[in-house]
Structure 1
Amino acid sequence: MSKIRDLDEKIGIDVKDLYILERLSASSSLSCVSLSSIAKELGITRQSVHERVKRLCGEGFVENIGRCYVLTEKGRARLRFIKKVEPEYAELILRHFNIYGRSLEEFLKNDAKRDYALYFIIGSFLAYFLARITWISLMSFSEKGVEKILEELWNKELKKMTKAVIYTATIIEEKGRDALKTFVDALQGIAIFNATILEASTKKYSESSQK
């Protein structure tokens, strides 16, 4: 529960919705979880909880069985994913699925689509790496400036994205190892490519400054 609550400040995911999903995961047609109790725990009105549950029903995460609200398979898959991945990387991975219309639930359940989805995410990250670092290589001719910008880029963006790739591969366990190796090999290639550009850029800057 503490991990769910941590999401609010770290990545801006609606923590109340996730808390409701977590509580309803214990609900069944034989043993209902009271919406009033959820409202009391969250410090909001029962009407507010009811409206959220209705919306979650419309999104396919919750269904109504008799007098009880229970999670669908889609809801359980989403909750498993959020609880399995470190909060600060969950939103980054989810965003890549949402942008390209990929189904997170299918990714978690279908082995063939898992592999495709993982390579798709890694490909997106690598394209971003290449575009960002190449741009910096071409725009920054001072060796000191390059080091400063690359350090800032790593700390603010690339470090988080690299961890997101690793966590994504971890979800797939053994199936993610080959994909992770591909990711690392590609990064090495990008590093060599950009080192060449940096060297040429620095040389060009040095020559122009001596004129």
Structure 2
Amino acid sequence: MKRLWVLGSSVLLLVPACSDSNGSGSSPIGDGPSLAGLLHAVPDTADSRGNPVYYGNLTVVRAGQLPDNFDDDLALLVENSSGQVFLPDAVRSGIREPEFAQYAGFDTRQIAVALEYGVLPDTVAVLVGTMKSGAVEKGLEASPGGEATTKEQVGAVTYLSLGDDGASDLGSVSPIRRVGQPLRLAIEGDTLYWGRTRASVEAAVGAVANAAPSLADDANYLAVAGALDAAK
């Protein structure tokens, strides 16, 4: 049985764990910021199938408006969604702190849609919008402990890392590292992947590149996502 919870323009998606691949590996996120498109970023694994996939379309919530500053944008999102607007935990947990935008290199105004899946420490947030790799890199470097930020370019993907694998640095707590957890980010075009492990972020990037199956290759997931996109 399919189970769906739709809250305003936010979606919690659960479908059966059975596999029904349609073999389609084309048209990833570049098709647009739809739920069906973003499912290409969710690797087809037992963990992905066994846990919720969360999605929110901030562009729909804004209803054609884009305030000039972060405070007004957040207020608009909250008001238009009756307080139910979805933001991934990596963003939501620190977004109200004044230093968040300084350290992250973006705020809610740069986010068009967002998706989150997985279980800690392998949770991955996927943000589509106007985030810039240079601004994100500068933000990480300006954050507590940010002098340890490393950068790696792999083709069109920029990988940024801060913190040691599997460890929390309580001396580097900030709005983007609430418990000093490691950050593993990847930026490709208009898409930012945010996680705690390089492997989980690489898996999302690889799924979009069709290097491995994604939930978008399963007809059950794709049909439900398509129906929700059409109902907006």
TM-score over 0.5 (shorter chain): no
Higher relative contact order (CA 8 A, sep 6+): 2
Higher helix share: 1
After TM superposition, the score normalised by the length of structure 1 is 0.24
After TM superposition, the score normalised by the length of structure 2 is 0.23
Higher strand share: 2
